[in-house]
Amino acid sequence: MELGIIGLGSIGGNLAKQATEKDIDVVGCDTADRPELTEKGVTVLDSGDYEGLSERLDPPRAIYLSLPAGELIDDELESITEHLDEGDVVMDGGNSFWRDSMRREERVWEDGIYYLDTGTSGGPPGARHGACFMVGGKEEGFEIVEPILDELSVEGGLLHVGPPGSGHFVKLVHNGVEFGMLQSIAEGVELLEAGDFDVDLEEVFTNWSNGSVIQSWLVELMRDQIREDNYADVPNYVEDTGEVNWLVQEAFKGETPIPVISQSVIELFKSRGNQEHAYQAIAAMRHGFGTHPFGESEDILEERVTGRVDNVSRDHLAQDRENMDTVRPKDRFGDE
């Protein structure tokens, strides 16, 4: 088996290492020399040498793009397809917008070239030892590269989702779920740190990593990060490439409620200090209607702490539950 990889960074490079160890011949193109890959037997060509790439691969060629989403994909795709033949397969392994993938598939299919939107999950460790692939595109194209992807995927981690665009759509929803899970775990850390008990975070996350309902790779990663000596120095700033924003925007267009995923994106914005004026405006209005102080106030802080009333529940809401006149969906629409 042979595989061409364009972009030999953290994902493409690790896929190349894994592939060579599984007797898959790899020819790659990158802006850097990548001696650590050539030592493993990967043929590394200069960036843009798609003629050389094409000459070193037998048809039907299988080429994996490990590039950032956006116009770069269009530019590279235009260049590489000039050197490909009918029946060759191009896989976009990045986080491209699925509607862009649908457009690109139509374009390259005019030349008889298969285009597969190949959502790839697992990060660099997955690329190195077994990734998770969500593939959209024509079935015939998938069948050509299936043996290669099967070798590079973790057990159960290869799925042909459906038609063009579906692979990147499913991967984008996956990223949204990831954001929601990250936010939930982070809020758990906040509660543990702010609580009344002096708990050992590492021990708690170790405990949660063994048989608990929320046992997961993310919980294990949190445990491992807490163990790092520099954990306390990690900046309170979260960066991302913005693809989950597309998911939220599409949800709004379709009136699909995704409050957790939407709020997780908002929390990223807040971490970057992007609200320069909102809290100032709130403070000004609160001062206007209630002469609330500007800035910190020890008196207000004391009132906030000592004014709490403990052991207050909302049980009274359930006292008359049997007599409540609940409005059900069928009542709203007049259904029987």
Specify the pTM: 0.85
> Residue 294 has what pLDDT?
85
> Residue 312 has what pLDDT?
47
> Residue 100 has what pLDDT?
94
| Domain boundaries of the chain, sorted by first residue | 2-162
> Residue 43 has what pLDDT?
95
The residues assigned a catalytic role are 171, 178
pLDDT tens digits for 216-255? 999 999 999 999 888 888 888 888 888 899 999 999 999 9
> Residue 322 has what pLDDT?
54
- Give the residues of the chain that fall short of pLDDT 70: 307-336
For the chain, what is the HEC assignment? CEEEEECCCHHHHHHHHHHHHCCCEEEEEECCCCHHHHCCCCEEEECCCHHHHHHCCCCCCEEEECCCCCHHHHHHHHHHHCCCCCCCEEEECCCCCHHHHHHHHHHHHCCCCEEEEEEEECHHHHHHHCEEEEEECCHHHHHHHHHHHHHHEEEEEEEEEECCCHHHHHHHHHHHHHHHHHHHHHHHHHHHHHCCCCCCHHHHHHHHCCCCCCCCHHHHHHHHHHHCCCHHHCCCCCCCCCHHHHHHHHHHHCCCCCHHHHHHHHHHHHHCCCCCCHHHHHHHHHHHHHCCCCCCCHHHHHHHHHCCCCCCCCHHHHCCHHHCCCCCHHHHCCCC
Superfamily of domain 2-162: NAD(P)-binding Rossmann-like Domain (3.40.50.720)
